[in-house]
């Protein structure tokens, strides 16, 4: 039997474990909160050149802060606004009734004050369809010298600051949303022409029902889901009871502590969660012109709390 006299092969030192890559979804953003629990300004982010990780971080921040403001997005134009929206979510057509800004951009809804495009009533965008938008991306194109601010109110904070008995009542209610109150004029002017929303041809606006309290599909938080722009009444109660209840919800929602206000500069972009906010475009600029371009992101059917 022959024994080997060779020295044993050296054992390699264990390699230091390489640090795990940071999750892309958690890429930090420079966020400046605008209140204790609602609204944030995003600094140093160019939407036209944002990385995928930055877009995902914005998407996460939106559910938490509900409305995000990104100043100085001067490189965005109609093409790149739509392109950013497609990275952020599924972009819808401009509006169920109103066509897009032009044939090349059917996704962009132009709010031009010279053509009656203003929204000086508290509302949540397009709640009069079965699947209201997840959110909206609004870009300031032309602004008056002064005025034209937009305000947002936090529907989740509004619900959470109601008394417990009123919360329990709201949890059980259903509201009717009707687009003809604001957009019946456009229907009358279409002369038989049709528009498309999420692949469905809109010949008329049929009222739909949504729960008065909506459970956010991402965070699970409850929020009021009624607005003066499109909610016509609460189902299953008398007209007087409906008016009193809606007046209560509206007055409570728009208390100053539930509201943030943005003073626009050309190139600013606001992104808001349509499932947890209402907004109001201040119409205080007389005959000066104000033009905003908005795209909306496909949402889901609102779900209410389980009441047992």
Q: Which numeric CATH code is attached to 29-297?
A: 3.60.130.10
Q: Is 123 a catalytic residue?
A: yes
Contact 196, 136 (CB under 8 A): no
Quick one: how many helices (H) and strands (E) in the chain? 6, 17
Residues 6+ apart with CB under 8 A from 127: 177, 210, 225, 227, 229, 230, 231
Query: Residues 231-282: pLDDT tens digits?
Result: 999 999 999 999 999 999 999 999 999 999 999 999 999 999 999 999 999 9
Query: Residues 30-80: pLDDT tens digits?
Result: 999 998 889 999 999 999 999 999 999 999 999 999 999 999 999 999 999
Q: Which of 123, 216, 233, 258 is catalytic?
A: 123
Q: Is 125 a catalytic residue?
A: yes
Q: Which of 65, 216, 275, 294 is catalytic?
A: 294
Name the residue among 154, 164, 180 with its Cα closest to residue 257: 154
Q: Which residues pair with 295 in a beta bridge?
A: 137
Domain range list for the chain: 29-297
290-303 burial, b if ≥16 CB within 10 A, otherwise e?
Answer: bbbbbbbbbbeebe
Query: Residues 103-124: pLDDT tens digits?
Result: 899 999 999 999 888 888 999 9
Contact 277, 153 (CB under 8 A): yes
Q: Which of 95, 125, 210, 258 is catalytic?
A: 125
């Amino acid at each position: 039997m022959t024994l080997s006299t060779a020295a044993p092969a050296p054992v390699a030192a264990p390699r230091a474990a390489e640090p795990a890559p940071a999750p892309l979804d958690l890429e930090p953003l420079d966020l400046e909160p605008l209140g204790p629990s609602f609204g944030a300004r995003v600094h140093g982010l160019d939407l036209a050149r944002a990385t995928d990780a930055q877009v995902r971080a914005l998407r996460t921040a939106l559910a938490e802060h509900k409305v995000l403001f990104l100043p100085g997005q001067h490189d965005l134009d109609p093409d790149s606004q739509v392109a950013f929206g497609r990275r952020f979510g599924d972009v819808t057509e401009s509006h169920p009734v109103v066509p897009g800004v032009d044939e090349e951009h059917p996704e962009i809804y132009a709010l031009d004050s010279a053509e009656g495009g203003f929204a000086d009533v508290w509302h949540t965008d397009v709640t009069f369809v079965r699947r209201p938008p997840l959110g909206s991306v609004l870009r300031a194109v032309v602004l008056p010298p002064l005025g034209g601010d937009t305000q947002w109110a936090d529907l989740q904070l509004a619900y959470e600051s109601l008394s417990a008995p009123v919360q329990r009542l709201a949890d059980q209610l259903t509201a009717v949303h009707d687009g003809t109150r604001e957009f019946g004029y456009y229907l009358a002017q279409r002369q038989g022409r049709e528009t498309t929303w999420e692949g469905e041809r809109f010949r008329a606006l049929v009222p739909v029902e949504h729960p008065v309290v909506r459970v956010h599909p991402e965070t699970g938080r409850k929020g009021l889901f009624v607005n003066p722009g499109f909610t016509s009444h609460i189902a299953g109660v008398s007209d007087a009871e409906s008016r009193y209840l809606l007046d209560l919800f509206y007055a409570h929602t728009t208390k100053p502590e539930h509201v943030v206000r943005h003073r626009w500069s050309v190139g600013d972009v606001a992104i808001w969660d349509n499932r947890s906010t209402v907004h109001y475009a201040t119409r205080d600029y007389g005959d000066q012109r104000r033009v905003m371009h908005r795209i909306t992101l496909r949402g889901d059917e609102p779900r209410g709390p389980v009441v047992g």
